[in-house]
Every structure is written in C-alpha cells, then in structure tokens.
Structure 1
Amino acid sequence: MNFTDAWRHDETTETLWTNPETDIAILAPHAGDIEFNTEFAAGQLHKLLRKAGYHPTTWMYHGFGENAFDEYHVSSNYLDFTQFTELSRLQDRRFRFGVSFHIHEAGYVGVGGRIGEGIRSEVADRLTERLPNSKEVRYRHDEMKNKGRKESNIVNRITESGDDGLQIEMTPKTSYNYWKRVARSVRDVYVELL
C-alpha cells in the first residue's frame, strides 16, 4: 500500500530509501500517527546528509489512525526484520552507524543508544544549542527512562559492532515544532564521523 492510501484508510506502509554503499542507517520505526513527525526528523536527516555528500539508507514504518500507537507500535527491542517487507531487505546488511527517532512522554529530549557517551554528549550539546532554553536534553543513561541500550534494539542490531546505534527520544512538542533542529543537530555530529 502506498503512503497516501495508508494515510487515507488508517493503515500502514513502509518507506525505504536504500544505498548499497552507505555507512549509516536512519530509522523511524514508529512513524505516521504512531509517534508523530518522527519520519520528518528521519527524512530531514537523510536529506541533510545527502546534501553533505553522504547517501544514507533510511527505513520508516508509518501507521495511521486515531489509535495508531495502540494498534501498530512494536517496541524497538522486539522489531524483527522479517515482520516488515521493506525492512527485510536490510536483514543481511549492517552499517557502521544507526540513528533512530522516537517520541516519549518523559519531559526531556533523550540521546540514548549503545553508541559511546562522547558522541551522545556531542549530539546533546548541539541539541541544547538549537532547542529553546525550556527544553532539557539528557544523554547519560542513568538519567533516562528510554535508554536504547539493549542489544536487541533495532538501532543497535543494524550496526556492524552492535554498539553504534543512537536513539533520539523527543518530547511530543519537540517533535511537533523542532524536528528540523533535531535533525540538524544529529547531522552536525555525524558529518564529522562519516
């Protein structure tokens, strides 16, 4: 089903933009109405990295409808490549880095994943520079609820090492109003790493 039909009929669809030679995978596993605007942050990061000369692979799963979260949300720790037609095309691929975008209700922007604290700190610094002063940004695992640290998390599993996934947890307001700033902040760090 294409995006427009999925949106019109409260269904699901996937988007996959793939590059066979990329070092980075960008994920929005809860896009559409599941976790609103996460696909825009992922798509913006994809676009920004392309403009910088990198060509990421990006996968998004869009679920639509008033009850999309309850109907279509699958924890990133339990996502299986074979559950999704387009994601299954990446089953045998691994990337140097993975980045995923999410929403949580914790009241702060979280920069998690298994990737090293130094990189999480750099992303957090860029977010702090770009987001309004009222937005708290956390990157230390012991200060966050949704850490993204589990080996089973798709953003970690998709990396070559299993330890180079970055999970961004936005507040609803951040995702709604500042998704471009979030994407730019992540871009600024990753253009130095790729």
Structure 2
Amino acid sequence: MSEKEGYLGDRTTEQRYSRRRIVAGAGGIVGAGILGAGVQTQIVRSQEAPPSGTDTDVYAEGCEDVDHWELTLEEANEDWSARADPSLYCSVPCSLTDTDNVAIGQQVRIGNGTGEFENAVYTVASEHETDETLWLTASGLDRIDASDSETVTLGSSAIHPSYNTRQGGELNDEYVEYLVNGDDGGDGNDVVVLAPHGGYIEYGTDFQAERVAESIGATGWICSGFNAGGGGFDRWHTYSTEIHRRSFPELDSLLEQEFEWGVAFHGYSNGEILVGGTADESDKAIVVEAIEDLLPDQTVTVVERDATEYTGANPENVLNDLAPIGQTIQIEQPTDVRESDWSVVADGVVDALETIRG
C-alpha cells in the first residue's frame, strides 16, 4: 500500500491467521546516553524501576542497545490534516530531534504495555518545545488505549531488533524486517522485490516477494507484522510514501545499492488486481498479460501513473527510492487472491520480468 488513504485493512484475514503470542518479553532495554546538558527528558535504563502502570520494554527481551525514553502523553491540538490518518502520527520533544536521537519523518514505537496493542508504530510528524511530553491526537491515544497525562515509552526503532525472520515475528507477535537473497545462480541480482506490509498487515505479500526473489535470484526486502487476535494492520502499518530509512536498518543498507528494476507487492480491499508503478504502459501490459494467463478468471488492470490512488508512482514511495523511475512495478491485490492465489500471481510476475528484461 502506498498512496492509499484511509484504508483500514483486512481485519477478518488478520483475525483468521493470527496466532497466540507464545513468547513474552521480560528483559529490560538499556537507554541512550544523556541527550545533552540541561535536557530534562527522562531516560529509562534497565536497572531503574519504571513508574507505576508503565512497561518500558516495548521490544520484548534481548535488546540491550535500543534507545528509548519515558514521556508523558499530551493530547495534541494538531490534527496533521495533510496526513491520511492522524492516529498514525506523533510529535516529539525538540530535545530528541536536536540531538539526532529521533528525526522528523521516521517511524518510532510507542506503548504502555496494556490494551489491545502493547505498543504500536507511529511516524514523527513534528517537534515541540516541552521536553517531557509526547503528543498524540485523540485517535492516536486510542490506538494504544492510552490517556492524556499517562506515562508511556517511546522507542527509536520501528521493527524488533532481535528477530530477523518471518517466523520470529509470528512466534513472538512482533514486527520484523528481513532480507531474502535469491539463488546466486539466478540472473536477477539487479532486481529488488518489496513487501513492506507482510505478515498479517497485508497477508500473503511477504510470501510473494520471497517467491519472486528466490525464483530469479533477486534481493527481497520484507517487513512482516503480527498481532494476536487481529489488528496487525492497525498496529504496524506505515504508508509506503513515508517509510523512513533510519527506522529500517536493512532498507538503509539497500538504499546504498543500485538496482535496475523494482517490484512491490501490496494488498487492498477492492476486487481486481492492479498493476501500477512507474514502468512504461507497455511493460505493465506485459505484467497484466502474464498474470491473466495464469488466472484467466481474475480481472487485472493497469493503473495509469497519474491516477489518484494505487499508482505506486509517487517519487517518495520506497519502491521508487530503490529502483529508477520508469522501471518499477507495483502489484495491488484483493484479499481472496492473496489468500488462495498468491503464488500464482508471483509466478506471473516472474514470467513478466523475464520477458521485460529479455
């Protein structure tokens, strides 16, 4: 999902596939160093007892070097009206941005250890002068069942630093980032394949990215999120146009490389498969035909680059950061396709790439 706005995700799918959390985090996290002389923002360290009613461990056990801070929530007057959904954003103290602990635009993790979501991912939309407060809108507070003046923990990493596989994310009810490197004997080492919303955020897309990467010897970048009882989308989703490199270390490393082609798999709630991206119409038509050959009863449609939704053509889309404008393809798919025919669509994309790349 990239420029899509206001989409709430496939909650029934998430509920159907989510599994019981079987590993509970109990270890502490060592906080960052002092933010600077005179700064009053509190820094929590593992040996310090947290304030009553809070849980400083927003990443579960085993993460001794993750920066985190305890802050007091304040309901924001800002509605961040330029954003698709104000519940996904926060404002942090200038003491964090001035010392480069947190940057405007990056994703962070916020939680109080209670409620349906123990913590969730937010994007930093702005900064403010009050050192000890963290601003969320009313809907942003509701995401983690928090209230004004409550103490919560802000963590500097969106993904869990200790897990680097889909299985690790699923077994621990977590949000993970990992790379898939295809067979060295393949001819696709100049292709990058993305699934920014895998797991139960947009089910099936991570399987697709892995299948394509392994089939052609490409590099796959995948994020997968899970939440027991459903709600993976609401807890972990970040718009593709806002994914920040400092929040995802594996992505950061890939952005130093040069890829010739990029493909991204996404899910949405409409009934047809959409083929977008910045590629020429003729190239996108090849993708459409390849998928239709394998799924003759499924409607597959090209999305024009100037369409208002689902285009994948925004220059700020992470797909278009990794591969050149004019050589990116984005696939949007309905729920039933991602559940039943995810591998077929992936194979169609493999066939199309072989034709396009000669």
Please give the TM-score of this superposition, normalised by the length of structure 2.
Answer: 0.49
Partner of 2:235: 71
- 1:164 equivalent to 2:331? Answer no
* 1:45 aligned residue (200, 207, 212): 212
Partner of 2:200: 33
Larger Rg: 2
State whether residues 279 and 329 of structure 2, in contact with CA within 8 Å, keep that contact through their aligned partners in structure 1: yes
Deviates more, 1:10-19 or 1:94-103: 10-19
Task: Give the secondary structure class of the aligned counterpart of 2:246.
Answer: helix
- The alpha-carbon deviation at position 17 of structure 1 amounts to 2.6
Opposite residue 208 of structure 2, the aligned amino acid is A
Partner of 2:318: 154
Partner of 1:126: 290
User: Residues 143 and 174 from structure 1, CA distance in 2 versus in 1: closer, same or farther, beyond 3 angstroms?
Assistant: farther
User: Residues 81 and 18 from structure 1, CA distance in 2 versus in 1: closer, same or farther, beyond 3 angstroms?
Assistant: farther
Structure 2 residue runs of 5 or longer lacking an equivalent are 1-161
CA distance in 2, matches of 1:6, 1:187: 27
Task: Give the secondary structure class of the aligned counterpart of 2:325.
Answer: coil
Deviates more, 1:175-184 or 1:15-24: 15-24
Opposite residue 42 of structure 1, the aligned amino acid is A
- The alpha-carbon deviation at position 156 of structure 1 amounts to 1.4
Runs in 1 of length 4+ with deviation above 4 angstroms?
18-21
Q: Deviations over 1:132-179 (max 9, x none)?
A: 41x2111132678311111111111211x3331100001111111111
Partner of 1:104: 268
State whether residues 138 and 144 of structure 1, in contact with CA within 8 Å, keep that contact through their aligned partners in structure 2: no
Partner of 1:145: 309
- The alpha-carbon deviation at position 46 of structure 1 amounts to 1.4
- 1:57 equivalent to 2:242? Answer no
Q: Which has the higher contact order (CA 8 A, sep 6+)?
A: 1
Q: Deviations over 1:88-110 (max 9, x none)?
A: 11121121100010001121100
State whether residues 175 and 224 of structure 2, in contact with CA within 8 Å, keep that contact through their aligned partners in structure 1: yes
State whether residues 195 and 223 of structure 2, in contact with CA within 8 Å, keep that contact through their aligned partners in structure 1: yes
Opposite residue 119 of structure 1, the aligned amino acid is D
CA distance in 2, matches of 1:163, 1:94: 14
Deviates more, 1:13-22 or 1:84-93: 13-22
Q: Deviations over 1:50-96 (max 9, x none)?
A: xxxxx211110011112110111111111122211211111211211
Q: Deviations over 1:117-143 (max 9, x none)?
A: 11111100111111141x211113267
Computed over aligned residues only, the root mean square deviation of the Cα atoms, in angstroms, reads 2.0
- The alpha-carbon deviation at position 6 of structure 1 amounts to 2.0
User: Residues 57 and 110 from structure 1, CA distance in 2 versus in 1: closer, same or farther, beyond 3 angstroms?
Assistant: same
Please give the TM-score of this superposition, normalised by the length of structure 1.
Answer: 0.89
State whether residues 303 and 310 of structure 2, in contact with CA within 8 Å, keep that contact through their aligned partners in structure 1: no
CA distance in 2, matches of 1:116, 1:59: 23
Equivalent pairs counted in the alignment come to 187
Q: Which has the higher helix share?
A: 1
State whether residues 106 and 145 of structure 1, in contact with CA within 8 Å, keep that contact through their aligned partners in structure 2: no
- 1:22 equivalent to 2:189? Answer yes
* 1:115 aligned residue (279, 289, 292): 279
Opposite residue 39 of structure 1, the aligned amino acid is D
CA distance in 2, matches of 1:168, 1:11: 25
Q: Deviations over 1:11-61 (max 9, x none)?
A: 111111348992100000000011001011111111221xxxxx2111100
Partner of 2:340: 177
Partner of 2:10: none
User: Residues 123 and 144 from structure 1, CA distance in 2 versus in 1: closer, same or farther, beyond 3 angstroms?
Assistant: farther
CA distance in 1, matches of 2:212, 2:169: 23
